[in-house]
A and B are shown apart, each in its own frame.
Chain A
Amino acid sequence: GAVVSQHPSWVICKSGTSVKIECRSLDFQATTMFWYRQFPKQSLMLMATSNEGSKATYEQGVEKDKFLINHASLTLSTLTVTSAHPEDSSFYICSASGGRRAEAFFGQGTRLTVV
């Protein structure tokens, strides 16, 4: 299957700072990328969908000013958690897709801890 690389795999940051997470599709062009959040022992919750060259679509209840998503190219999407607080601590996973209903490939995930 295709490879999606997510970086960093873990990060610890101070409260009030911003953190950027990168998601790269290494061997295919991802027209769509998805960002999920996963709390311990829970399922993946879709945060937002981004299409290359256009604004991200956020799910209800997700603050777009806190979770900035940029999908500047067909191989890279970034999620920036701005002014992070301890409640933002979670596991964030990206996935990339070649198109509607196509198989989605997942990054390794990023464990964010805000102290």
Chain B
Amino acid sequence: AQTVTQSQPEMSVQEAETVTLSCTYDTSESDYYLFWYKQPPSRQMILVIRQEAYKQQNATENRFSVNFQKAAKSFSLKISDSQLGDAAMYFCAFSGYALNFGKGTSLLVTP
């Protein structure tokens, strides 16, 4: 079974600064996807970024980028130029078949 661990229950960042959310996972599979989802107070799940395990290049989506270390089974999310609208719960997820989610990190953005 795959497990996803997010060791930071809460994180805080000042507006315009950079923050990194950590995620590690455990799997015996070689072909899989990793995701970061954002869940704002509305509770709608929003895909932030996706990484295919076979790709060595780290995925980037505007201000969001990942540091994917396959051998270390690490998948951290970096948010640059943080904005107030980035405040939310962030879930790391592993996709073998269904999505397995970590426990989440609550991100607070301060002015």
Contacts and interface: CB of A to CB of B under 8 A. Distances in A.
Interface size class of B (residues with CB under 8 A): 20 to 34
Interface of A: 1, 34, 38, 42-44, 46, 49, 91, 93, 95, 100-101, 103-104, 106, 108-109
Interface of A is mostly: strand
Among B33, B91, B97: residue with most chain A CB under 10 A: B97
B89 to A, nearest CB: 8
Interface of B: 31-33, 35, 42-45, 47, 50, 91, 95-104
Contacts, number: 45
Given A43-B103, A43-B104, A44-B91, A100 B97 contact: yes
Given A43-B104, A101-B33, A34 B47 contact: no
Contacts of A100: 97
A43 B50 contact: no
